[in-house]
Amino acid sequence: MADRLGFWELSVQVVIPQLLVAVRWTLALTICAAVLGTALGLVIALMRISRSRSLRALATGYVTLLRGTPLMLQLLFIYYGLPQIDPRLTFDPFPAAVIGMGLNSGAYIAEIIRAAIQSIDKGQMEAARSLGLSYGQAMRFVILPQTYRRLIPPMVNELVALSKDTAQAMVIGLEELLRTGSHLASRFARPGPAYLWTAVFYLGITVVLSAVATHLEQKLEAKE
Amino acid sequence: MAEPIIRLEGVRKRFGKLEVLRGIDLQVWPGEVVCIIGPSGSGKSTLLRCINYLEKVTAGRVYVDGQLVGKREVGGRLVDMSERELDRMRAQIGMVFQRFNLFPHLTALENVTLAPIQVKKMPRAEAEARGMELLRKVGLADKAHEYPARLSGGQQQRVAIARALAMEPKAMLFDEPTSALDPELVGEVLAVMKDLAREGMTMVVVTHEMGFAREVADRVIFMDGGMILEEGPPAAVMSAPRHPRTREFLSKVL
Ligand SMILES: Nc1ncnc2c1ncn2[C@@H]1O[C@H](COP(=O)(O)OP(=O)(O)OP(=O)(O)O)[C@@H](O)[C@H]1O
Ligand SMILES: [Mg+2]
């Protein structure tokens, strides 16, 4: 039946409605993984510049491990591997994907935040400490706020990459954009519309992300 | 005048193989203005940083207002101070830097009120009222809501002085406060420092401004190679230096 539909009918009646469902999973995964990854990234970044040798070693090990192995492997390990180690570590595809992508982006975001912190003039920390602020207060009120504007460009890159990397969660059965798009493509004799519209959806996400970032950057710039 | 505000005993500091401070003894009395002069690399900045414990001394002792900095006596033994205690000690001494080091994301007033609010837990309204008073004192009340980038170097340094004063320090350390300024802006910063000295603030000033040292200092110290080679009233050290190194240095800067 659908085989005989034209491009527009196929698109409007079948492909776009299904992709509109799938894009919710992609967006939810992007947002959850970004939030988890940013929180984790901040902690790992602070560990990497801390004075404690063991905290530094732990954080370096974390970053090395997660950046040194493929994301897809990490997702497969969490979804299929963890339950074999302990059945209590069994996750549905969505939470497994959030955990995997959050842990993975945490490693990249940690490096972004660390670089931003280290780009702040040493005199800032010194001035803050000379006023009696503790290390933590100096970080919170003096150093980190100055990194925000510098963080926007690399963080947007990271978010754009993250939103596209959500496609890899298809291997653990998450019905996100690419998995849905591929199913649609193989269901009909004509795979074109399915892949085309899938691409449009991804493009929509990344373009909106970049536009929001530019706006944010201009707003912060106006303040200084 | 029983206790000096700042007392250093045999302070040594080394960075790896390089010994930057080689046994410094120094006492600064309440209300005294001490100017430190000396060639580049002689350890002047390091000395100030050790007084404020931004650098940990390798050997020797630093006392602020009679209290040993960095160590505490517990049952007859000296143990390291906790970070919190060190923070509290640092808050007692104000520091002004060559490159101002204002916080660029905060307005002038916010720069001044940050530490009172966060460290002293002063109510914001009170901190702002006192901050405005300090900005008025350094002649910048009308710039309270400007960001540092909109201020001239001289104005930035005056805000930095107000920021340090906001913690009501027992002494102020200045590390070449006018060296990064255009010549025409030096005067306004020195004027604020002279006012402070007149009000009885205890000050240690590393400076190349020989006129300021001559006029304001109670005592001038000449440092070279991590040691104090000569000290005395400005007239004596600057007009009739005894040490050949002092003579050589002064002939270059005067
Ligand atoms: N953190 C550090 N690590 C290693 N060496 C340092 C450090 N800080 C200072 N030094 C070295 O210690 C020496 C003294 O430096 P210091 O900044 O105290 O000199 P100074 O008298 O203030 O000089 P200037 O007039 O140029 O400011 C210099 O040789 C400097 O390179
Ligand atoms: Mg110096």
Domain ranges (residues) in chain A:
2-223
Q: Which helix (H) or strand (E) holds B25?
A: strand B18-28
Residues of A in Cβ contact (< 8 Å) with B119: 131-133, 137
The C-alpha atoms of residue B45 and residue B65 are separated, in whole angstroms, by 21
Q: Which atom of ligand 1 has the smallest separation from the CA of B226?
A: 14
**Residue B170 in tokens:** 């027992």
The C-alpha atoms of residue B244 and residue A149 are separated, in whole angstroms, by 53
The C-alpha atoms of residue B7 and residue B22 are separated, in whole angstroms, by 16
8 A C-beta contact, residue B162 and residue B127:
no
- Residue contact B163–A146, C-beta within 8 A: no
Q: What is the pLDDT of residue B1?
A: 53
What is chain A's mean pLDDT, rounded? Answer: 92
CATH superfamily, domain A2-223, is MetI-like (1.10.3720.10)
8 A C-beta contact, residue B42 and residue B92:
no
Atom 3 of ligand 1: nearest residue by CA position: B15
Question: In angstroms, what separates the C-alpha of B253 from chain A's closest C-alpha?
Answer: 27
C-alpha atoms less than 13 angstroms from C-alpha of B207 in its C-beta half-sphere: 27
Residues with Cβ within 8 Å of B79's Cβ and at least 6 positions away in sequence, in order, are B71, B72, B73
Using CA coordinates, name the residue in chain A closest to B166. A131
**In the predicted structure, residue A128 carries a pLDDT above the cut 80:** yes
- Residue contact A126–B119, C-beta within 8 A: no
**Residue B226 in tokens:** 């991590």
Q: Which residue intervals of A166-191 are DSSP H helices?
A: 177-187
pLDDT digits (tens, 9 = 90+) for A27-81: 999 999 999 999 999 999 999 999 899 999 999 999 999 999 999 999 999 999 9
DSSP helix/strand/coil, B200: coil
Q: What is the pLDDT of residue A184?
A: 87
What residue type is A197 in one-letter code?
W
Of residues B118, B147, B163, nearest to A141 (C-beta): B118
Q: In terms of DSSP bridges, do strands B33-37 and B18-28 run parallel, antiparallel, or are they unpaired?
A: unpaired
**Burial class (CB within 10 angstroms; exposed 0-12, middle 13-18, buried 19+) of B207:** buried
**In the predicted structure, residue A116 carries a pLDDT above the cut 90:** yes
Whether the CB of A135 is below 8 Å from some CB of chain B: the reply is yes
Q: What is the pLDDT of residue A3?
A: 58
The DSSP code for A81 is I
**In the predicted structure, residue A9 carries a pLDDT above the cut 90:** no
- Residue contact A137–B90, C-beta within 8 A: no
Q: How many helices (H) and strands (E) does chain A have?
A: 11, 0
**In the predicted structure, residue A2 carries a pLDDT above the cut 70:** no
Q: What is the pLDDT of residue A50?
A: 93
- Residue contact A126–B99, C-beta within 8 A: no
Q: What is the pLDDT of residue A192?
A: 86
Of residues B83, B101, B104, nearest to A134 (C-beta): B83
Centre of ligand 2 from the C-alpha of residue B44, in Å? 6
**In the predicted structure, residue A5 carries a pLDDT above the cut 70:** yes
Gyration radius (Cα) of chain A, Å: 21
List residues in chain B touching A: CB distance below 8 A: 52, 54, 83-84, 87-88, 90-95, 97, 99, 101-105, 114-115, 118-119, 147, 149, 160, 163-164, 167
Atom 27 of ligand 1: nearest residue by CA position: B40
Location of structure tokens 């940050």: B114
Segments of chain B with pLDDT less than 50: none
Q: What is the pLDDT of residue B62?
A: 93
> Which residues form ligand 1's pocket by a CB distance below 6 Å?
B 15, 18, 20, 38, 40-46
pTM, full prediction: 0.89
Which range, of A6-15, A196-205, B36-45, B81-90, averages the lowest pLDDT? A6-15
- Residue contact B91–A131, C-beta within 8 A: yes
The C-alpha atoms of residue B157 and residue B101 are separated, in whole angstroms, by 9
Q: What is the pLDDT of residue A39?
A: 97
Ramachandran sector of residue B188 (left: φ over 0; alpha: ψ -120 to 50; beta: rest): alpha
Instruction: Kindly identify the ligand whose nearest atom is closest to the C-alpha of B225.
Output: 1
Backbone angles phi, psi at B87, to 5 degrees: -60, -40
Atom 13 of ligand 1: nearest residue by CA position: B41
Backbone angles phi, psi at B66, to 5 degrees: 85, -5
Residues of A in Cβ contact (< 8 Å) with B160: 127
Q: What is the pLDDT of residue A223?
A: 64
Q: Which helix (H) or strand (E) holds A80?
A: none
Atom 6 of ligand 1: nearest residue by CA position: B15
Q: What is the pLDDT of residue A188?
A: 80
The C-alpha atoms of residue B62 and residue B68 are separated, in whole angstroms, by 6
**In the predicted structure, residue A114 carries a pLDDT above the cut 80:** yes
Instruction: Kindly identify the ligand whose nearest atom is closest to the C-alpha of B47.
Output: 1
Atom 2 of ligand 1: nearest residue by CA position: B15
**In the predicted structure, residue A104 carries a pLDDT above the cut 90:** yes
Exposure class string for A160-194: b at 16+ Cβ within 10 A, else e: bebbbbbbbbbbbebbbbbbbbbebbeebeeeebb
Q: What sign for the dihedral angle of Cα B180, B186, B188, B189? A: positive
